[in-house]
Amino acid sequence: METQLFNTLTQKKETFFPQEGDKVRFYVCGPTVYDLIHIGNARVFVVFDSLRRFLEHRGWEVIMVQNFTDIDDKIIKRAEELGESPQELAERYIAEYWHDAENLKIRKATFHPRATEHIEDIIALIKILEEKGYTYEKEGDVLFDVSRFPSYGKLSRKNLDELVEGARVEARYEKKNPADFVLWKKAKPGEPSWESPWGEGRPGWHIECSAMSMKYLGPTLDIHAGGIDLIFPHHENEIAQSEAATGKPFARFFLHNGYVNIDQEKMSKSLGNIVTVRELTQKYEPSVLRLAIFSAHYRSPINLDENLLQSSRQFEERIKNFLRNIGFIEEKIKDNSALLKEDKEEYHKIDEFSRSFQEALADDFNTPQALGVLGEFLRFFNQYLSPRRGKWDLQVLEKIRDFLKMVEEILGILPGKEMEISDEAIKKLVEERERARRDKDWERADQLREEIKSRGYVVEDTPLGPRFFKMEEQ
RNA sequence: GGCGGCAUAGCCAAGUGGCUAAGGCAGAGGACUGCAAAUCCUUCAUCCUCGGUUCGAGUCCGAGUGCCGCCUCCA
């Protein structure tokens, strides 16, 4: 089965394959570290990390690069407000990023380059552009001259004339063309700066991604991804400066995910409706947040509200129960061959689910559809795992585990821990309750169930005997 | 003003010309249970409106309505 991905460049789904062998060169625009990441950031990182996992599952080796923008206007401004150095601020929020990313089960990329550690590469790239005549200077800034790059606008489907009309006039100086953007910014007194052929300054926002992606992945990326709002101007500018410098296509596939909305409106600083990952994960488990993110296709907007989160939490609860169900049966048949038999049909059924699941993801990473397959899988095998069934096939159980493992490896939505029975005191109470039940002393049995509950455990009766597990606090 | 996206059940959300319109959440009824819990079963939509293409359309085309976004920092 082929992997199809919607390419922003061509506005259609295309069959994906790497440009060279098994290596996928994958670049995702990372956070500007001036604050905690919000759930809009989270969506980008979760979705593309999972896409990477899927590509790896397909047998490709993915070299993933996600940058940290650790120097820019927002960082400088924020640092000033807080009375610390921009470096300290950036360092602090990079640490906070790691915290949130780990919490959300976002895997580390192969490389996480920082802008400030690649100033030389950035300068070298600007020099090339300068030599090729793509730049001009204005009051100490070095700008990219978009009029020299004829295909400017190909990603965002804009033409320069319209941009001229619509563009806002900048206060400091007049550009040759309003779409021209800064490659190297002259430092104001007191600002962090680096020496360069154009004087003390710092890189513009767009140039770092070009410089770093090319350094780690070469002139042409297989995939370049980010939020939909990066199409213009960020990715448009990256294309211009990169292709102007190398003469080669900057990226074969551009992937963009939709917004996270709050009350049907774009989450943004100006509307003051930012929700941080930190806030949300205090209330919801990471697997719940991931489930919610995957409940809509990555290119659609999503409203991550209480309603959706609650419904995702309920679904997750069902997944947890499934894990208890299989764990219980595994436990019961471990030393009891009387409970074994061969189940061919179920065995093969798992292959079908597995194929459907992967087909869904191979079709432009259709996670809602993949979750639909998971839902059907749960229903089918909950029937199979019913204690009333009486006999099971070890190989089927193993294969169910394999399926779950695959789902977890790609989507990372399974709850962290399964039921563990270690509390001897609880065990004793459960046994005592069983004796009461055998004596049909229902009052005593119910009393004991309450007692067990008050100690934080749930006990359930099945034809194979009672099972119990620790309740979750939420 | 220019450009783009979306409109499917109470809510969320797949589906891109053809068997009974996935799946999740919520609701109702039932099976199972000493009672529960879990689980399963049943039930719950003709797909914004109008017109067109077609043997056949949620799926294609046109018009309309509504919502959202980009054109400016932004994931």
User: Per residue in A372-392, pLDDT tens?
Assistant: 999 999 999 999 999 999 999
Decide if A138 is inside a domain: no
Q: Is the CB of A274 under 7 A from strand B?
A: no
* Residue given tokens 């919000």 in the structure block: A38
**Which among A220, A209, A242, A222 has a CA at the least distance from the CA of A62?**
A222
Q: Is the CB of A378 under 7 A from strand B?
A: yes
Alpha helices in A295-420, H assignment, sequence order: 306-333, 344-362, 367-384, 394-411
From residues 303-332 of A, which are strand B contacts by CB within 7 A? 303, 307-308, 310-312, 314-315, 317-318, 321-322, 324-325
Rounded-to-10 torsion of CA A277, A278, A281, A282: -150
Domain count, chain A: 3
pLDDT < 50: residue spans in chain A: 166-167, 169
Decide if A64 is inside a domain: yes
Instruction: Give the end of a domain, one of A390, A411, A432.
Output: A411
For the record, the structure tokens of A249 come out as 């296509």
Instruction: Report the distance from CA of residue A301 to the C1' of nucleotide B6 in Å, as an integer.
Output: 9
pLDDT at A56: 98
Decide if A142 is inside a domain: no
For the record, the structure tokens of A204 come out as 């513009």
Query: What are the beta bridge partners of residue A135?
Result: A144
Instruction: Report the distance from CA of residue A296 to the C1' of nucleotide B53 in Å, as an integer.
Output: 32
Q: Is the CB of A462 under 7 A from strand B?
A: yes
Taking only Cα atoms into account, the Rg of chain A, rounded to an integer number of angstroms, comes to: 27
Decide if A443 is inside a domain: yes
Rounded Cα gap, residues A141 and A136, in angstroms: 8
Q: Do A366 and A230 have their domain in common? A: no
Q: Do A231 and A89 have their domain in common? A: yes
Instruction: Report the distance from CA of residue A462 to the C1' of nucleotide B70 in Å, as an integer.
Output: 57
Q: Do A123 and A100 have their domain in common? A: yes
Instruction: Report the distance from CA of residue A116 to the C1' of nucleotide B5 in Å, as an integer.
Output: 37
Q: Do A454 and A369 have their domain in common? A: no
pLDDT at A160: 77
Q: Is the CB of A375 under 7 A from strand B?
A: yes
Give the ipTM of the model, two decimals please: 0.96
DSSP state of A231: I
Looking at strand B, which nucleotides approach a protein CB closer than 7 A? 1-4, 6, 11-16, 22-26, 32-41, 67-75
CA distances from A163 to A152, A171, A201 (A): 11, 17, 28
From residues 330-359 of A, which are strand B contacts by CB within 7 A? none
Q: Is the CB of A235 under 7 A from strand B?
A: no
Q: Do A87 and A10 have their domain in common? A: yes
Q: Do A393 and A434 have their domain in common? A: no
Q: Do A32 and A117 have their domain in common? A: yes
* Residue given tokens 């997750």 in the structure block: A316
Q: SS3 helix, strand, coil % of chain A, rounded to 5?
A: 50, 15, 35
Q: Do A30 and A91 have their domain in common? A: yes
In this structure, what CATH number is given to the domain that contains residue A358?
A: 1.20.120
Decide if A230 is inside a domain: yes
Q: Do A122 and A44 have their domain in common? A: yes
Strand blocks (E) in A52-200: 61-66, 135-138, 141-144, 181-186
Domain that holds residue A389: 314-411
Instruction: Give the end of a domain, one of A361, A381, A411.
Output: A411
Q: Do A249 and A393 have their domain in common? A: no
pLDDT at A157: 87
Decide if A185 is inside a domain: no
Give the closest nucleotide to A303 (alpha carbon vs C1'): B12
Decide if A165 is inside a domain: no
Rounded Cα gap, residues A11 and A5, in angstroms: 10
Rounded Cα gap, residues A140 and A19, in angstroms: 39
For the record, the structure tokens of A33 come out as 């570290």
Q: Do A402 and A431 have their domain in common? A: no
CA distances from A418 to A198, A324, A325, A354, A397 (A): 60, 7, 10, 22, 16
Instruction: Report the distance from CA of residue A313 to the C1' of nucleotide B10 in Å, as an integer.
Output: 19
Q: Do A323 and A232 have their domain in common? A: no
Give the closest nucleotide to A371 (alpha carbon vs C1'): B23
Give the closest nucleotide to A376 (alpha carbon vs C1'): B23
Quick one: which residue's CA is nearest to B5's C1'? A300
**Which among A344, A320, A435 has a CA at the least distance from the CA of A396?**
A344
From residues 26-45 of A, which are strand B contacts by CB within 7 A? 29, 31-32, 40-41, 43-44
DSSP state of A68: B
pLDDT at A166: 47
Q: Is A419 exposed, middle or buried (0-12, 13-18, 19+ CB in 10 A)?
A: middle
From residues 146-205 of A, which are strand B contacts by CB within 7 A? 156-158, 162-163, 165-168, 178-179, 205
In this structure, what CATH number is given to the domain that contains residue A9?
A: 3.40.50.620
Q: Is the CB of A432 under 7 A from strand B?
A: no
Decide if A144 is inside a domain: no
Contact between A242 and A254 (Cβ < 8 Å): no
From residues 85-144 of A, which are strand B contacts by CB within 7 A? none
